[in-house]
Amino acid sequence: GAGVSQSPRYKVAKRGQDVALRCDPISGHVSLFWYQQALGQGPEFLTYFQNEAQLDKSGLPSDRFFAERPEGSVSTLKIQRTQQEDSAVYLCASSSTLSYNEQFFGPGTRLTVL
Amino acid sequence: TQLLEQSPQFLSIQEGENLTVYCNSSSVFSSLQWYRQEPGEGPVLLVTVVTGGEVKKLKRLTFQFGDARKDSSLHITAAQPGDTGLYLCAGELDSNYQLIWGAGTKLIIKP
């Protein structure tokens, strides 16, 4: 596709529900990042994939968060047993090269946990 | 802990005024990027600076990378309402895929 797409754009979940957020990166981009962003703040790193390999998951806040990219393209961020503190915008970014690491972002998924 | 501090956090000015946003760190970066984010959208890359002392211009926006590659600034001349948004700087450390992100500067340009 022309850019990074994410779905759904908005998700409302009841506390305790599981959610799955999808990211379609730019075709051919090797690197894929997930970020969490609070309102008016910079993105906070969650996890990083190089092709299908998850090379860094140090930013995942708890073991309720899980991400995968099984075929090296589409990625899914799953949050189990959602809590109110999980409410945030979840951004996905892809990058074609490790040089300068210029990232292209999707529009984000705004998750609200009630 | 590597930190990238942005200032000011918030800036509201009248159309036509000039402004400067700063991004400072004690770490040396191999490159530094500036992004702009509008409500409901993801950040969009504006520019990447690589060389110490480098200056890049994008229409009314001037970006500078410090000589020591620890800091950067964004200067906007004759700001327009369309410049409104959240401006983010992000630095890349040597041999590291992660970007270190600033907290952002929320800029509002009033007509």
User: pLDDT (tens digit, 9 = 90+) per residue, B6-60?
Assistant: 999 999 999 999 999 999 999 999 999 999 999 999 999 999 999 999 999 999 9
Which residues does chain B have within 8 Å of residue A101's beta carbon, measured at their own beta carbons? 31, 33, 92, 97, 99
Sign, CA dihedral A55-A91-A96-B35, equals negative
End-to-end CA distance of chain A: 33
Write the burial class of residue B46 (CB in 10 Å: 0-12 exposed, 13-18 middle, 19+ buried): middle
**Calpha distance A89→A82 (Å, rounded):** 14
Measured distance CA(A4)–CA(B51) in Å, rounded: 29
Summarised one tens digit per residue, pLDDT across range A72-82 is 999 999 999 99
The C-alpha angle A91, A96, A98, rounded to 5 degrees, equals 95
Distance to chain B for A65, nearest Cα, Å: 19
Q: What's the confidence (pLDDT) of residue A66?
A: 97
- Chain B: give the shortest CA distance to residue A87, in Å: 15
Strands B19-24 and B71-76: antiparallel
Sign of CA dihedral A25, A29, A32, A38: negative
**Inter-chain contact B42–A40, Cβ cutoff 8 Å?**
no
- The average pLDDT across A24-42 equals 93
Residue among B41, B97, B104 whose CB faces A42 most closely: B104
Query: Length of chain A, please?
Result: 114
Are the beta carbons of A102 and B42 separated by less than 8 Å?
no
* pLDDT range class, residue B3, cuts 50, 70, 90: confident
The whole-number average pLDDT for the span A51-71 is 95
pLDDT tens digit sequence for B49-98: 999 999 999 999 999 999 999 999 999 999 999 999 999 999 988 767 78
Distance, CA of B28 to CA of B37 (rounded, Å) = 25
Mean pLDDT of chain A: 93
DSSP A7: E
Please give the pLDDT value at position A39.
Answer: 87
The reply to whether B5 touches chain A by the CB within 8 Å rule is no
